[in-house]
Amino acid sequence: MREQQLFYTQACLIAFVGAVHIIALDQYLYWRFPWLDLFVHFFAALWIALFAVWFCVVTTRGRAFGKILAVVILAGIGWELFEIWGGIPREANFAFDTALDLTMDTLGGISGFFLASRMLARDTIVPHGTDKNDPS
């Protein structure tokens, strides 16, 4: 059940990130609001981490912080390369912007890992009074 909740959470998050990204491209919001790129990077990395943890749990591969963070960082680097190869105009602050994007990816990945771990660890069904030795 907890895996299903994690699946739905990450599915809703990627739908949200995708919608924001499509609208931002269509309305030129990335150029009007430069901070929006950081917002999208953070939440996209959050999604990647949630998805990676969910995938590891479902396939019983075990989740490790280092593996999940590596996946998130590699995806972030891949996205930056995609932007370069896709012809996105580079500005004078390209190196700073890329470093900031990767920082937000890392923070989103860390947040996603801990959020997923908390979601999976939380047991919502607590049996009360089922143990004969339980004084409550």
pLDDT, tens digit, for every residue of 33-73?
A: 989 999 999 999 999 999 999 999 888 877 789 999 999 99
pLDDT given for residue 94 in this prediction: 86
- Tell me what the mean pLDDT of segment 107-136 comes to: 76
Q: Is residue 136 part of a domain?
A: no
Q: Look at 81 and 122; give whichever has higher pLDDT.
A: 81
- Torsion over CA: 13, 16, 20, 26 (sign): positive
Q: Is residue 135 part of a domain?
A: no
Q: Is residue 100 part of a domain?
A: yes
Torsions phi, psi of 18, nearest 5? -60, -45
Q: Is residue 90 part of a domain?
A: yes
Give which of 61, 10, 16 is closest to 40, Cα–Cα: 16
- For 6, the domain range is 2-121
Q: Say how many domains are in the chain.
A: 1
Residue 98 DSSP code: H
Q: Is residue 129 part of a domain?
A: no
Q: Is residue 133 part of a domain?
A: no
Give the count of beta carbons closer than 10 Å to the beta carbon of residue 18. Answer: 13
Q: Is residue 84 part of a domain?
A: yes
pTM of the model: 0.85
